[in-house]
Amino acid sequence: MMPAEDTAVKQEHGEPAAALATELAAHAERLEHAWCAEVRARGLLTRLSPAELLREAAILLRVWTGFLTSGEEAAAKVQVHWLAERSVLVGRSVQEVLGALFAFSDVIRQHLRRQAPAGTGENADPLPFFERAAQQLVMQAAASCAAAHEELVRRRMDALVEAGVALAGEAGLDRVLQKIVDLAREILGARYAALGVLDDAGKLVR
């Protein structure tokens, strides 16, 4: 049986959420390009190339629509937590993640205002629902970013301790270096990792 709070969330979302998600999907390309321009204007995500930024826009829009259409609070939180954890793992600050979300919220808000016909009643206007959803999404993102950052710091500290134990307990240099590489790969969530050893002249020797 569905919990009462999840039922309430589903009822609150209902048709307004579905209609808004449909609207976002219908204008996805326009919204994504507008967000890229807005992010550049605000000086956010400056390390990303134009192509990478556009991919990030598509990811954010998928999170937004997934958040709207999930229908259950727990499922909606999964969408936001995934985004926050992913962002922290690639080295983005909480401020940068929230700044990107705020920028997308502003782009969507401007789009909805342009699309709303004159004299639209409150019941037909998606903006009030959007404002509530945007506030909820940003609040959940902030909490998830903080939790993900704390978890990353804890994992790094554990890895440093483990690396120290490895350095003290391993007799062979190759095994120590391999252990350090494995720990670094695990912390960063990378598929591959490599470590090079340079001699005094800066030449790669291992």
| Domains of the chain in sequence order | 4-148 (1.10.490)
Residue 74 confidence (pLDDT):
63
**Nearest of 33, 39, 145 to residue 89 by alpha carbon:** 145
Which residues, including other chains, have CB under 8 Å from residue 164's CB and lie 6 or more apart? none
Three-state DSSP class for residue 11: helix
Q: What is the model's pLDDT at position 170?
A: 63
Inter-residue contact 31 to 24 (CB < 8 Å): yes
According to the model, what pLDDT value does residue 36 have?
95
Positive or negative, the Cα torsion across 199, 190, 42, 136?
negative
User: Which residues, other chains included, contact 110 with Cβ-Cβ below 8 Å and sequence gap of 6+?
Assistant: 34
Are 108 and 24 a contacting pair, CB within 8 Å?
yes
Residue 72's pLDDT is what?
55
pLDDT tens for the chain, 206 residues: list them: 434 444 444 445 567 778 888 888 899 999 999 999 999 999 988 888 999 999 989 988 888 888 777 755 566 677 677 777 777 767 777 788 888 889 999 999 999 888 866 544 445 677 888 888 888 888 888 888 788 777 777 877 787 777 777 667 766 777 778 877 887 777 666 778 888 888 888 788 77
On whether the CB atoms of residues 76 and 12 are closer than 8 A, the answer is: no
Q: Would you state the pLDDT for residue 71?
A: 57
Query: What pLDDT, on the 0 to 100 scale, is given for residue 51?
Result: 93
Task: Please name the helix (run of DSSP H) or strand (run of DSSP E) that holds residue 182, with its range, or none.
Answer: helix 173-188
C-alpha to C-alpha distance for 133 and 142, rounded to whole angstroms: 14
pTM reported for the whole predicted model: 0.65
Token pair, residue 178, equals: 């391999």
Q: How far is CA 72 from CA 12, 18, 120, 200, in A?
A: 10, 13, 29, 59
Return the pLDDT at 119: 45
Q: Is the torsion defined by CA of 111, 115, 121, 124 positive or negative? A: negative
